[in-house]
Structure 1
Amino acid sequence: MGKWIFRVLPILYMGVIWTLSSFPANAVVELPDLSLDRFIKESMHLIEFAILYLLFVFAMHTTNIPFSKKINLVCAAIACLYGVADEIHQSFVPSRSATLIDVIKDVTGVAICWYFIDRASFQKRFPRISAFLRFLKKV
């Protein structure tokens, strides 16, 4: 049962991203300090697609498919491509914008997480991350 939760989470999360990017930027929350509001929302690009990548990695660890460098790269590529698709989607939403810098932030967040997963999985670094990934194999 637990493994199916990890397998469905990336799809559900993609739906959440798509839904939230269908609304104006201030539809969910708007902080009174506009510069802080903008900073936090711009920073979310780094975080939201990094989370998507991690959910793909976690889902792959619950399968019988060996987690390889190639699979790791595919997980990162899918998360990055979804970031591009989301930016294109936002370009059609009134009061939203799509910029190359947003795509760069999406890819940067994924790349940072990819680094840690790569080192934990294939170079015996970051033992806590490695332990969690091994735990997922047993779920």
Structure 2
Amino acid sequence: MQIKFSQKIYKILALGYLLTIFIVSSFPLVLPEIYFDPRKLIFHFFEYFLLSFLIFKSINKKEEACLLSSIYGLLDEIHQFYVPSRTFDFFDILADISGSFFLLIFVYLNLDKNLKI
């Protein structure tokens, strides 16, 4: 089975994005973290929506893309627990998983309408 050229590009983009998330979350925070900041949660939501999209386009399996993205969000929060001045934040995990699942809903709605994403 031959992988399409566009799938290869999306795999590279997805891996690059995963690496970017890891690198950025490895740096200690300069400013003190606000425990419940809605802007941060919105950022996490769209961050993992985009990650799910890139994974989906690279493997063409919506449920697996959602699951992989959600698991990565959990692992990233565990990783941040060990980074100075960062914390394990349950709300961040909820925002990550919500963004991942929103992509799943978005894809289902668009597939039902026969729209190409």
Q: TM-score range by the shorter chain?
A: 0.7 to 0.9
With the length of structure 2 as denominator, give the TM-score of the two structures: 0.82
In the alignment, does 2:101 pair up with 1:102? no
Matched pairs, number: 111
Structure 1 residue 3: deviation in Å? 3.9
Please tell me whether the aligned partners of residues 41 and 91 of structure 2 are also in contact (alpha carbons under 8 angstroms).
no
- Structure whose alpha-carbon radius of gyration is higher: 1
Q: Percent identity?
A: 26
The root-mean-square deviation of aligned C-alpha atoms, in Å, is 2.3
2:55 paired residue number: 56
Match of 2:26, as an amino acid? S
In the alignment, does 2:95 pair up with 1:131? no
In the alignment, does 2:77 pair up with 1:78? no
Q: Which of 5, 10, 25 does residue 9 from structure 2 map onto?
A: 5
2:21 paired residue number: 17
With the length of structure 1 as denominator, give the TM-score of the two structures: 0.70
1:89 paired residue number: 79
Deviation digits for residues 46-104 of structure 1, max 9, x if unmatched?
A: 1111111000111124xxxxxxxxx3111100000000000000000000011211111
**How far, CA to CA, are the matches of 1:24 and 1:44 in structure 2?**
18
Consecutive unaligned residues in structure 2, runs of 5 or more? none
